[in-house]
Amino acid sequence: MKRSAAAGAVVGFPTIIPSTVLGQNGNVAPSNRAAIGLIACGSRASYAGMYQRYEKSEIVAVADPRKKRRDAFSAKFNNCEAYNDFRELLARKDIDGVHIATPDHWHVPIALLAAKAGKDIYAEKPLGHSIDQDLKARAIVDKYKRVFQYGAQQRSQTHVRMGIELALNGHIGDVKELYVWAPNGRSGGNKTPAPVPEGFDYDMWLGPAPEAPFYPDRVTGNGVWHIYDYAIGFIAGWGAHPMDMLQWWADNQGKMDIPVKYEGTGAWKPDDLYNTVTSWDVNCTYANGIPMRFMDTRKANSAKPHPGVAGGHGTLLVGTEGWVRVSRDGWMTSSEELRQKAKNPGEKRLKVSRDQIQNFVDCILTREEPVDNLHSAVRSDVATHLSEIAIRTGKVIEWDKKKERIKDKEDRKRMKRTMRKQWAI
């Protein structure tokens, strides 16, 4: 967008423009396309190919501390510029937005720097490595008036939207119970030291996390998701998906916000390399008294607290007149009659998005609020952190909605993480 403004001022700008300049489909001018910088080129970056397939966007730069990865992704995207240090990418004035596909501990630090650099932000789930990070992300992004899209893609699935609209319009009656479940975490991991591979800036990969010896298992997908220095485990990493769907309902259900009380049990192996919570069963209560039970998949399917609780993950809303369950894999209702009502659910309708990335790009161009905005992401992410804190402390955790902090002063310390000085927020 910024590059095109300069180009338009050149005398003699050609009136016949090659289709390659106008996008993949040859019908969108550069002035109507968003230039995107991809930060991190691991498994989650594969979704970023949508930017090239969408005629309104293109990836113009990539960054990753692994040379092989960034070079490979550069080749995929027209041999665009590739950087070891993402801050060089952020310094480019021609980039409108960034797609953050890093390990969890990098999501918020990069998002804050991107907001300050004037970039709009798409960040993979989960959001922050701590509650403190979540709250600071919201403050900074709001201050700099940036578009922020959360990467929990189910809000761009039609069946999820239809299922939640059923509940919002009262077709299941008054909601009396809520259930959320997600896949279990993992323990184990090999702690055998090894040389850092050539072309891998390991210190940059660690970033705000503590210094640590290099183990190959540390930097794999399992390490990224299940080592406490980088994440809190699948309770957030996978739990973000069903929790985000629940939050979509809660955000449109009056003053629901998030639960104010958390109490539960779980397991983890603190001496393993993979030392995040692996199983959990947390009873949460909203200020209006509605209970929500948050479980891992094995617990959900063994306890079977409700007929609608089934499958590897999901969000179940139970009312006085029926129930509806949504997940990325599909949706189910307590009756076919109820399901048919989704065709015309009523006046309460949710924002429509067909693709999470396309919605982000459109909002860069229009400055509208995306389907999965940061304020909603903060709420759902904080709920997973409070659940994890309840497990680790073995205590009842109470949340002060007005002050946005844990009520108990000692437990409140767990809202923050120590970060290496050069990356501290």
More confident residue, 4 or 192: 192
Q: Using alpha carbons only, what angle is made at residue 373 by residues 372 and 377, rounded to the nearest 5 degrees? A: 85
Q: Helix, strand or coil for residue 97?
A: strand
Lowest mean pLDDT among 9-23, 300-314, 357-371: 9-23
Task: Decide which of 3.40.50.300, 3.30.360.10, 3.30.2020.30, 3.40.50.2300 is the CATH code for 157-350+374-423.
Answer: 3.30.360.10
**What's CA 411's distance to the chain center, in Å?**
25
Instruction: Quickly tell me which residue has 């300049």 as its tokens.
Output: 21
pTM exceeds 0.85: yes
Hey, do 2-154 and 157-350+374-423 end up sharing a CATH topology, with the first three levels equal? Answer: no
Q: How far is CA 14 from CA 27, 29, 94, 117, 370, in A?
A: 16, 13, 21, 32, 35
Whether the CB-CB separation of 331 and 159 falls below 8 Å is answered with: yes
pLDDT of residue 14: 31
Query: Cβ atoms within 10 A of the Cβ of 215, count?
Result: 17
Cα dihedral 65, 71, 76, 78 sign: positive
pLDDT at 3 over 90: no
More confident residue, 13 or 127: 127
Query: 325 CB contacts (<8 Å, ≥6 apart)?
Result: 163, 308, 309, 310, 314, 315, 316, 317, 331, 332, 333
Cα dihedral 162, 163, 164, 170 sign: positive
pLDDT at 404 over 80: yes
Cα dihedral 217, 90, 105, 62 sign: negative
pLDDT digits (tens, 9 = 90+) for 146-162: 999 999 999 999 999 99
Whether the CB-CB separation of 385 and 228 falls below 8 Å is answered with: no
Nearest Cα neighbor of 312 from 331, 333, 327, 294 is 327
User: The domain 2-154: what is its CATH number?
Assistant: 3.40.50.720
Q: Helix, strand or coil for residue 166?
A: helix
pLDDT digits (tens, 9 = 90+) for 343-368: 999 999 999 999 999 999 999 999 99
On the 0-12 / 13-18 / 19+ scale of CB atoms within 10 A, 355 is: middle
pLDDT of residue 27: 67
My answer on whether omega of the bond before 345 falls inside 30° of 0, hence cis, is no
DSSP-derived secondary structure letter, 117: T
Domain-wise residue ranges, the chain: 2-154, 157-350+374-423
Bridge partners (DSSP) of residue 149 are 122
pLDDT > 70 in the chain, percent: 93
Distance CA 194, CA 166 (A): 54
The mean pLDDT of the chain is: 93
Distance CA 323, CA 315 (A): 11
Whether the CB-CB separation of 4 and 29 falls below 8 Å is answered with: yes
Whether the CB-CB separation of 367 and 358 falls below 8 Å is answered with: no
